[in-house]
Amino acid sequence: MTPSRLTARVTTDTCALVVALAAPAAWLGGAAAVLGVLAGGALALVNFRWLAARAVAATSHAAVGGAWSIGAGLRLAAFAVACAALLGLDWAHPVALLAGLGVLPCALIVEGLRAARQER
């Protein structure tokens, strides 16, 4: 499986799971829970897609340089600011935000296992 295909499949799976998780979150926690789940899923997807693009670029080019680490630091700083704003303004429930962030690793593991099974 190519990196772009894996990225696309993980993105699709994550979006579907986040939307499916938002419905029970609305029932259990209201608007703050829905926003937390959706924002967590969106933040996780943005981070994953950035990381996947940089990993592909790093393996395809001979000289990567130190810009990669600066970009990673800026990305993590933006992630921290976004999470702090969501939580500080009480727009997102903390548990819902973590639930939304936790969907992507599950989708990535499932797709990785599926790709490994297909390669056998």
| pLDDT value for 72 | 85
Instruction: Parse the chain into domains and list their residue ranges.
Output: 3-119
Which of 60, 52, 61, 31 has its CA nearest to residue 104?
52
Taking phi over 0 as left and psi of -120 to 50 as alpha, with beta for the rest, 75 belongs to alpha
| pLDDT value for 64 | 60
pLDDT tens for each residue of the chain, 120 residues long: 788 899 999 999 999 999 999 999 999 999 999 999 999 999 999 999 999 988 888 777 655 667 777 888 899 999 999 999 999 999 999 999 999 999 999 999 999 999 999 988
Rounded to two decimals, the pTM is 0.89
